[in-house]
Amino acid sequence: MSFQFERLDLPEVVLVTPLRRQDARGWFTETYRRSAFEEAGIDLPFVQDNLVRSVGGVLRGMHFQMAPAAQGKLVGVVRGRIFDVAVDVRPEAPTCGRWVGRVLDGETGDSLWIPPGFAHGYAVLSDTAYVSYKVTAEYDASRDRGFRWDDSEVGIEWPLTDPILSERDRRLPALRELDAVSGG
């Protein structure tokens, strides 16, 4: 088996741990294998790959796209360390507004599957982080939404108190203030 799949407290969100083969030269790992992911119930096609470099203390999020362009994301860290978060934004779901978070780093190679209908964000815990993610829908600015990283009703327990934010993230509303929350 090339991967272990662990369903988190929000069972749609899955921690993916790859098998690493290591010797004196270093290591090799698969980051994605379609058949293994399909067998684990993650069977949406990936259509775009993204690579982001961020400095320590940066917080990106909480972002999602509304249907029909809702994105599932497979998020991993190539180098560095982040605290990665998913929030259920499906208004019909009993878990709407609940969150899960995990530390991801380039040393372990773990990744997080965040399905459509969930917002995503992360805080950089290392000096620099290179975050790679695959998405199931192309970016669509007209469907792009987000809410405040520090929304008290959501209550994400971030490991940063004074993060570096984009101007956009500073101006985002609370989750309950969004007109249409559904991401999928």
Could you list the active site residues?
A: 63, 133
Q: How far apart are CA 137 and CA 119, in angstroms?
A: 14
Residue 33 and residue 3 in contact, taking contact as beta carbons nearer than 8 Å: yes
Residue 31 and residue 109 in contact, taking contact as beta carbons nearer than 8 Å: yes
Query: 20: which 2 tokens?
Result: 């690493």
76 backbone dihedrals φ, ψ, rounded to 5°? -140, 165
